[in-house]
Amino acid sequence: MAHDEGCLQTVSRRRLLAQIGGASFLIGVGFVFQALADVFLARHLTRTEYGYFTLIFRDAANIIAMMVLLGLDSSLIRSVGAGGVARFAWRRLLQSTVLLLASLSLLLALVVKLIYGVGTVDYLLLVLLVTLFGIIALGATVLRIEGRTTLAQFGTHLWRMVFALAVILFFFLGMFDVSRVVGLLIVSVLVSVIAILVMIRSIPEGTERLDRKRLLVDGVVFFGLSSSSLMMVKVERFFLGGIGSFADVGAYYAVSVAVVTVYGIAASGGSYVLLPHFAQGGTVHIRRNLLLLVAVGAAIAVPYLVASGPIIHLLYNGRYDNVAYLVPLFLVIGMLQLVYLLPSSYVGGKAESSVLRKFLLLGLSALSVNVILCIILIPRIGLTGAASATAIAWFVRVAGGLWFTRVTVRGRNGGVQPASE
């Protein structure tokens, strides 16, 4: 019997690793296309145009989309668990949620319009973009719960592939300018929406209603966790745009994309699979996998440490050579984000609601550290201050996440930590 159970655990572990590998691969394909588009845009738009596009239609759009979701995507995974969505009236829930997304995006995008002087047309395009991102996230969540992670990832990242190819095509057709780039982005994201909607049509729907109160309560916590994580990836750019210039934002973004994207691929693939895995009762050996994540992060860092200057020069044709000194700080940020995926997924999937709420306070505290350090450091040491503030804040978040993981493990096992965790 012990031998049989060991075999079952081995198969489960292999399957889990295969799912993480598949998710990471598709995320990698999507980010390769996004990086291709970013490199192309950085080389052919002015610094100001590139900074405006990335700040408004990348950073602001992603942050607002995360905020208007209110954490309902992760809350849905936690609430449904291993039972699947087939017994629930999930389509009605998604339809009402999309209407909420559109309404909230109108208000939050207005803040961006007022702060950065965004024109009315770009404001409305931002609202549309946020709503489309929300539809993609909700549809992909349904696929994740049903175990269709490959389809979920394909639909989620399809727009990146379409966008990169469209941008390059329009350049060679002589139709390349910043306004058309925004239009191409909207059309590309719409392609992903259509693909996701087609994929979820085959999933059956029941009549049982989901507990909206539980969804909302857990969702608010996940919203705080996800939005604070996203803000910690992007908040320094907003301070650079306000304290410095759009040119600073463009330079900072260009170098960060070249370095942190690789870590983001690995972290996203792991969390994409591990949160549903933990929510459905799965376990892993935490210490062993933390060491594995550190080893993976160190391996990623080696080529950058050896040849960061040539890499940045090659990618951007020498336009951002003067900010290649930021690479070591971005390596630290990327490593910390990679390690954080394990405690965040474990606590998010297994912790009691009371622990989860305290975990949210950790995320908000780390974000506060980031904001305070940005205010102090950016006026004094510019881009270095922005990257340093983010690295310190992520260290605070990782350290706290590991502590909460230990609390969760002991709480679930009566104070005793099992070998598998």
Q: Phi-psi region for residue 46, left (φ > 0), alpha (ψ -120 to 50) or beta?
A: beta
Residues 6+ apart with CB under 8 A from 275: 74, 77, 345, 348, 349
Looking at residue 82, what is its pLDDT? 59
Rounded distance between C-alpha atoms, residue 236 and residue 241, angstroms: 9
Looking at residue 4, what is its pLDDT? 33
Helix 90-116 and helix 212-243, axial crossing angle in degrees, nearest 10: 20
Looking at residue 416, what is its pLDDT? 42
Return phi, psi of residue 208, to 5°: -70, 135
Strand partners, 88: 208
Q: ∠333-380-301 over CA atoms, to 5°?
A: 20
- Residue labelled with tokens 């050896």: 306
Rounded distance between C-alpha atoms, residue 387 and residue 328, angstroms: 10
Looking at residue 196, what is its pLDDT? 94
Which pTM was predicted? 0.72
Looking at residue 413, what is its pLDDT? 58
Burial-class residue 51 by CB neighbours within 10 Å (0-12, 13-18, 19+).
buried
pLDDT along the chain (421 residues), means of 10: 35 68 80 82 80 85 84 81 73 84 89 86 91 92 83 90 88 74 91 94 82 79 79 81 75 86 84 81 82 91 90 85 90 94 89 86 92 92 92 95 89 53 58
Quick one: which of 228, 183, 150, 188 has its CA closest to 34?
Answer: 188
